[in-house]
Structure 1
Amino acid sequence: MQRIDHIRLMARYNSWMNERLYTAASTLPDEALSAERGAFFGSILGTLNHLVVADRIWLERYAEHPANFQALQVLAGLEKPTRLDQPMAADIRALTLLRRRLDECIEALATEMGEEHLDQPLSYRNMKDVPAQKHFFALLMHLFNHQTHHRGQATTLLSQAGVDVGVTDLLALIPDEL
């Protein structure tokens, strides 16, 4: 599998998993979603919110890529977070809409980019304004790995709240080679 094909698979998986996660989370009342559960970002809603924040930050950085990806133009109308726990929506319903917009953006970016874009370095500043320059493909993999990490936490929190998310494995989307 080519790297670009893997990125596109990960973008589809990201959207698929987020849809499953948000559907499951939406079965709980707002109070249960906001209840402190001892997770890195407190609650189920806090954990899902953090993923929106982080994706928004990384997509903004990706917009600095020399390819000037058109898929990232949608970011211009979205709030820029200034901290990793900044609330991006008042409740799960509003967060779901924002999550879908970001997932559509990630899938469009994966469709737009080509193999030739992956080996370029990307310069950016982190949340503490420290400059960095890193391999673009590695940064894309970080985005997907970060999502998987925190979605795992969210599925655990949902399970503890009595909600089964169902199948979560990437394997479900990898096509058979028969």
Structure 2
Amino acid sequence: MTRTSHIHLMATYNEWMNNKLYEAARSLSDEELCADRKAFFGSILGTLNHLVAGDTVWLQRFATHPANYVTLGPIRQLPVKSLDQLLFPNIRELSAHRVWLDQQMVEWSRSITESDLDHTLHYTSMKGVPADRNFYGLLMHFFNHQTHHRGQVTTLLSQAGVDIGDTDLVILIPSEPGVL
């Protein structure tokens, strides 16, 4: 598996898992979704909003790559002031945006080339600190961050009595022919 095919796999996994997560979350009332569950971002809705905010900030940074990823163009304009910002006040609006964002991500992942991955990306953190990091390493952080917080939401949903089923990446990894 090449690095670019792995990135596309991770974008596809992200979309698949978000679909499962949001379907499960929509089974709860608005009150249950907004209830303070003592998680880092408070509620299920707060954590899901954080994921959208974080994904948006990273995609905006990735849009500055010299490859000039056309798919990321509309994401450049999205307003994110902080990572704990409640971008969408309810699961319906958040879910619609998540579907759109994931579609952009999957399409963008198809446009990344192997040579793009060795670029040093220059960006500024949310605290105003300049950074220079390897693009491929940042992509791995991006997908790991998503998995980390989806795991938190999965736990919060489980505590609320909602099981989202299998979540393992291995489900989407293609089978390889056996060696005899």
Q: TM-score range by the shorter chain?
A: over 0.9
> 1:88 corresponds to which residue?
87
> 1:137 corresponds to which residue?
136
Instruction: Tell me the secondary structure at the aligned position of residue 144 of structure 1.
Output: helix
> 2:120 corresponds to which residue?
121
Unmatched 5+ residue regions in structure 1?
none
Deviations 1:79-138 (A, max 9, x none): x21111111112000000111111111111111111110000000000011000100001
TM-score normalised by length of structure 1 = 0.97
Aligned residues between the structures: 177
Moved over 6 A (4+): none
> 1:36 corresponds to which residue?
36
Deviations 1:32-77 (A, max 9, x none): 0000001000000001010000000000000110111011012145
- Paired with 1:165 and 1:153, the residues of 2 have a C-alpha distance of 13
- Paired with 1:86 and 1:95, the residues of 2 have a C-alpha distance of 12
> 1:25 corresponds to which residue?
25
> 1:47 corresponds to which residue?
47
- Whether 1:97 aligns to 2:96 is yes
TM-score normalised by length of structure 2 = 0.96
User: Is residue 74–residue 105 contact of structure 1 (8 Å, CA) maintained in 2?
Assistant: no
Indicate the percent of aligned positions where both proteins have the same amino acid: 56
Partner letter of residue 111 of structure 1? Answer: R
Instruction: Tell me the secondary structure at the aligned position of residue 118 of structure 1.
Output: helix
